[in-house]
Amino acid sequence: MQEAMTLLAKEGHELIPWTEDLHAECVEVMNLYYSADGGEDIRRDILAGGEPFIPHVENMLNWGKAISVYKYWQLNRRKVDLQQAYLKKWDAIRSPTTGRTVDALLMPAMPHSSVPHRACRWVGYTKVWNLLDYTALVLPGGKVETRDCEEPWNYPARSETDEWNAKVWDDNKTDMASMSLPVGLQLVGRKLEEEKILAVAKVLDDLLSK
């Protein structure tokens, strides 16, 4: 992220800090959608195929019981409210120099690079855009390097999941570096802005590839 930001700033692109407002709420509501039918849709397809459940998929199917039609519509109302609130948020964050709204968000795709099977515990950087129906794209932003392993982990864990991510790094960083695993960067735009985000991704990818 830091390297990408440095390259963009050097080329004259304005970088505007974003806030985490509404992000946790979006993650919460998206999780409720995952369990709205009690896992019936996915469970039926897996059983029809006659294959065993992948453990972490089976865990997700058991998150909760199916909710009523009434509760489902209340969930839809929460989603629409969040979509409206995020629209206002995007419109409100503007360049202090030009007054323009933000063209695209640059953020991580995951809290880590590729990890061993069943080591991934959190996908909150991406699922929010499914809820909001925004445009999102992930591109390689670099690779895990040996020098990354030498830097101490100086960030206090903010949650149990954060502690898990830190342990995954501590236990696997040498292998991640030796395999030069890619680090994903995510670009996000608003609804129906696929062409814009593809164009922004081309600019960033060209800078990172130099």
pTM recorded for the entire structure: 0.89
28-82 pLDDT, tens digit each: 999 999 889 998 998 899 999 998 988 878 887 888 889 999 999 999 999 999 9
Q: Which residues pair with 140 in a beta bridge?
A: 184
- Name the residue range of residue 75's domain: 19-92
Q: At what angle do helices 194-209 and 2-10 cross, to 10 degrees?
A: 90
197 pLDDT band, cuts 50/70/90, is: very high
> In this structure, are 134 and 208 located in the same domain?
yes
Q: What is the per-residue pLDDT for 190?
A: 97
Residues 155 and 208 in one domain: yes
Confidence of residue 205 (pLDDT cuts 50, 70, 90): very high
Does residue 182 carry a pLDDT above 80? yes
Task: Name the nearest CA neighbour of 166 among 154, 184, 181.
Answer: 154
Domain endpoint, select from 36, 59, 92: 92
Q: In whole numbers, what is the pLDDT of the chain averaged over residues?
A: 92
Assess whether 132 and 118 both reside in one domain. Answer: yes
Q: Do 134 and 181 share a domain, yes or no? A: yes
